[in-house]
Amino acid sequence: MLAFWKLRDATLCSSRYAIEEARSNLSEEAQKERLARLAEGLELFDASSEEPLLGMALPSKDWPILLAAIAARATHLVTGGVRHFAACFGKTVEGILIVTPSEYLKRRGMLKS
């Protein structure tokens, strides 16, 4: 994942919700401090107030992630949430291609297939 912070021609975005969810899953203070340092390099967005997209089946806790990506006008939603976003991988939703971190890096030529 640290490869994303080395990208020169990409703007890294996240939702405040995702950062808080990640922080709540960390048990060690050093991990929380590292997350805070990494988050300083992100543009943070909140979920828009749009209605959830029809035909999308996501758990309620994952809607803020997708809606924040829409609010950010992101080109990609890069997520390791394989279980919840599995049906969305490789699809474009509201102009956002949903991919795993490894798939994104492969498309950028940073990982071999």
- Does 107 have pLDDT greater than 70? yes
Q: What is the pTM of this model?
A: 0.86
pLDDT of residue 14: 95
Question: Contact at 8 Å (CB) between 65 and 79?
Answer: yes
Please give the angle made by the CA atoms of 103, 43 and 61, to the nearest 5 degrees.
65
Tell me the per-residue pLDDT of 27-43, one tens digit each, with 9 for 90 and over.
999 999 999 999 999 99
What is the predicted pLDDT for the residue at 2? 85
Rounded Cα distance between 111 and 64, Å, is: 29
State how far the alpha carbon of 110 is from the alpha carbons of 11, 82, 107, in Å: 17, 21, 8
User: Residue 54 — pLDDT band, cuts 50, 70, 90?
Assistant: low
Boundaries of every domain in the chain:
9-107
- CA torsion through residues 93, 112, 11, 30, sign: positive
Structure token digits, residue 73: 């006008």
Average pLDDT, the chain: 89
